[in-house]
Homo-oligomer: A and B are copies of this chain.
Amino acid sequence: MLRISKLTDYGTFVLAHLALSDEDCVSAADVAAATGLSLPTVSKLLKSLARAELVSSTRGAHGGYRLARQAEAISAADVIDALEGPVSITQCSSDDSPCEHEDHCSVGGSWQQINVAIRRALDEVTLVDLLRTNRPAPRFKFAGLPIAIETPSAKKS
């Protein structure tokens, strides 16, 4: 587990489509048609992405969305931040609520280190990288261990 939400994954589809589109400006409906996602969902995603300033929008007739900056300048961390809020591996490292286990907690600090390491990994991968590894013919499945195992019916999203 420790996974990104479906919506974040969809968000990368949406951004990928904007990055690859020839058009200057693509409507949510077009993105929905191109990605196979429903319009309400795409719409919701684009609104969030716009609020995070990863895409910019034009309202009204012939309006739509485009990337707010170059694909190289959009990292996986940016996308996750936009759609799930800031990355933080434990709840108590992000909440403002008091941690009721503080008295017994003998771990804690290292999660922050892990957090930073994960963050770094996510910062280093840009939308361009996500596009580059675009549908290789033989697909791979990651089954928990850092070893890619080829499977006949493997799939990716």
Contacts and interface: CB of A to CB of B under 8 A. Distances in A.
Interface of A: 1-6, 9-10, 12-13, 16-17, 20, 34-37, 76, 80-81, 84-94, 96, 98-99, 101-122, 124-125, 129-136, 139-146, 148, 153, 155-157
Contact of A114 (B17, B109, B125): B125
Given A10-B101, A37-B104, A99-B156, 6 more contacts: A1-B5, A9-B90, A37-B101, A76-B114, A107-B134, A108-B130
6 contacts: A90-B157, A99-B156, A106-B131, A107-B156, A109-B130, A113-B125
A1 B134 contact: no
Given A94-B142, A156-B99, A88 B1 contact: yes
Contacts of A141: 93-94
A140 B94 CA distance: 10
A98 B146 contact: no
A91 to B, nearest CB: 6
Given A86-B143, A88-B144, A104 B13 contact: yes
Contacts of A115: 142, 146
Nearest to A76: B114
A124 to B, nearest CB: 8
Given A76-B114, A146-B116, A135 B105 contact: yes
A126 to B, nearest CB: 9
A106 B134 contact: yes
